[in-house]
Amino acid sequence: MSRPRHSTTMHGFDFEQAEEAYDYIVVGAGTAGSVIAARLTEDGRTRVLLLEAGSATALPEMATPGIWPLLLGTTADWGDSTVEQTFLGAPLYAPRGKALGGSSSINGLNFLRGHRSSYDAWVAQGATGWGFDDLLPDFRRSETTVGRDETLRGTDGPLLIGVTPEPSPVVMAALDAATEVGYRTAEDISSGAETGFGLSDANVHDGRRMSAADAYLRPVAGRANLTIVTDVTVRRLTINDGMCTGVEYGTPTSSTAATALREVVLTAGAIGSAQLLMLSGVGPAEHLTELGIEVELDLPGVGANLHDHPLATIVFEHASPVPGNPENIYGQGVGLVHTRAGLDGPDLQILLISQPYRSPSLPGPGPDGGYAIAFSAMLPHSRGTVRLASRNHLVAPLIDPNYLGEVGDQQVMLAGLRIAREIGAADALTPWRGAEAQPGRPLDSEDAELDYLRESLVVYFHYAGTCRMGSDDLAVVDPELRVRGISRLRVADASVMPSPVSGNTNATVFAIAERAARLITA
């Protein structure tokens, strides 16, 4: 598979043809890329090139669950912001991982599937074979759990999953408070089969984060058939006559062309995969033409259907000191609830947080001086877009999740605010509850509540949907994850989700990637 090396100069940088061709090129070493590269190279005859924009070296802060917010804005974060959000009248900071392991290396570590109903909704949208029961073997394949229902949970996967061994007494009191106001207690709220409240699973082992890179990639990085190249960005896909044959990647001053003999697999996430398709001429023709990009395929669904879970919190000061534990995650308790009758599944998540987590723009207690109750619309109807700001791959894309753009989503968040305050005021929390720091004032009208949502809204960074799976004209990939109209090209990350799942998306991406690896090698 050797190829001769030659050099030339193009567009002001050195351009170098790769010496080697690979069976598969995987673009992005985040959660999905780590899983797929590891699984594909289990066959020693299969050569894989894995490309990542971030560094090969993990930042020291990644290991400690209780300091994850310190990772935002570092070199392990793309450092994006959204465009101005109509509901807010302002942009929001929009973190996403730029490291081996991607966002699993910088996120808050909740490992939750959500409820099975949100996966079964995918099938109704044309994602045949992607219901919860279909995906369950891949969820199980990714994880090792102990003492759970083994028909639902994995026992021998690479990722070690479990609840916080010694949870905060405030979180335990908040779980009692949820029961006090009428919500059921779940045995395994992370399983996908229950509603109610319980302790959240986390990808933490022996007090340390276990990212996708830690679980899947680093243990196999020495395989002779796996080549990992970091600190490079992919400029474009090489597409000839409707066939993807490789990629061009490199640094700001040099570029390399690599050939994929079988397939290219995009695992750059809901922002990055859509961006790269458009840079390569695959996307809405009118948008690409406006930027001077030659259209390889008019695929209008690329970059559409962007969705994320909007998140806001209320915050309390501690009545008495509560020792923190840096080995613990923030959101140790979680609830899945229905905000109205007639829903197929829960549409609201309540997260019980041991720290006073809130929008950076709001005042409040220091890290050890309070706690928070978060609420998030899990099945938002608001949809946004990812679009290119420039044909230059180094220019950040335009990210518009359209948070709370639909009135119905606003109503779910208002219900969440009221439920969070009800739980926060319950007797079970009396020993721990000091002053309410946020909102810290009466909210005596819906307008006042909406104003608080505008103040407190933050990005949950569960971006998904921009390369939607399905069979209609706006679908980008088919149920085999193959890009419609381009051969030898797949997308296998959160961007393929047709609609939101009612949980933090990282667990779902592990399962999508496990499923993708099986589809690729079938």
CA trace torsion 464, 105, 196, 412 (10° rounding): -40
Supply the pLDDT for residue 324.
86
Which residue do the tokens 């992370």 mark?
190
Sign of dihedral through CA atoms 37, 225, 257, 522?
negative
What letter does residue 402 receive in the DSSP assignment?
-
User: What are the residues facing 520 on neighbouring strands?
Assistant: none
Dist. CA 369–CA 440, nearest whole Å? 15
Cβ neighbour number for residue 463 with a 10 Å cutoff: 29
Backbone angles phi, psi at 115, to 5 degrees: -105, 145
Catalytic center residues = 462
Find the DSSP H helices in 372-471: 407-424, 446-456
Supply the pLDDT for residue 17.
44
Dist. CA 17–CA 229, nearest whole Å? 15
Sign of dihedral through CA atoms 140, 146, 149, 150?
positive
Q: Three-class SS of residue 424?
A: helix
| Range 165-199+311-377+408-456 classified under CATH 3.40.50.300 | no
**Contact indicator for 159, 210 with CB cutoff of 8 Å:** yes
**Contact indicator for 211, 506 with CB cutoff of 8 Å:** no
Q: Where are the domains of the chain?
A: 7-157+210-309+383-403+464-522, 165-199+311-377+408-456
Amino acid letter, 77: D
Task: Tell me the fold of 7-157+210-309+383-403+464-522.
Answer: FAD/NAD(P)-binding domain (3.50.50)
Dmax over CA atoms of the chain, in Å, equals 73
Q: Three-class SS of residue 458?
A: strand
**Contact indicator for 455, 361 with CB cutoff of 8 Å:** yes
Supply the pLDDT for residue 4.
34
Q: 13: which 2 tokens?
A: 């940088």
Segment 147-187, tens digit of pLDDT: 999 999 999 999 999 999 999 999 999 999 999 999 999 99
Dist. CA 481–CA 205, nearest whole Å? 32
Report the number of secondary-structure helices (H) and strands (E) in the chain.
10, 27
Contacting residues for 34 by C-beta, under 8 A, at least 6 apart = 100, 101, 102, 104, 211, 212, 213, 215, 216, 217, 513
Among 319, 299, 311, CA closest to 430: 319
Dist. CA 209–CA 160, nearest whole Å? 10
First-to-last alpha carbon distance for the chain, in angstroms, is 23
Ranges of residues in the chain with a pLDDT under 70 are 1-19
Residues in the chain: 522
Dist. CA 249–CA 98, nearest whole Å? 16
Dist. CA 122–CA 110, nearest whole Å? 23
Dist. CA 514–CA 326, nearest whole Å? 31
Q: Three-class SS of residue 214?
A: helix
Cβ neighbour number for residue 398 with a 10 Å cutoff: 17
Cβ neighbour number for residue 471 with a 10 Å cutoff: 12
Among 77, 31, 80, 117, CA closest to 401: 80
**Contact indicator for 210, 204 with CB cutoff of 8 Å:** yes
User: For the CA atoms of the chain, what is the radius of gyration?
Assistant: 22
What global pTM score does this model have? 0.96
**Contact indicator for 362, 456 with CB cutoff of 8 Å:** yes
Give how far the C-alpha of residue 42 lies from the chain's centroid of Cα atoms, to the nearest Å.
26
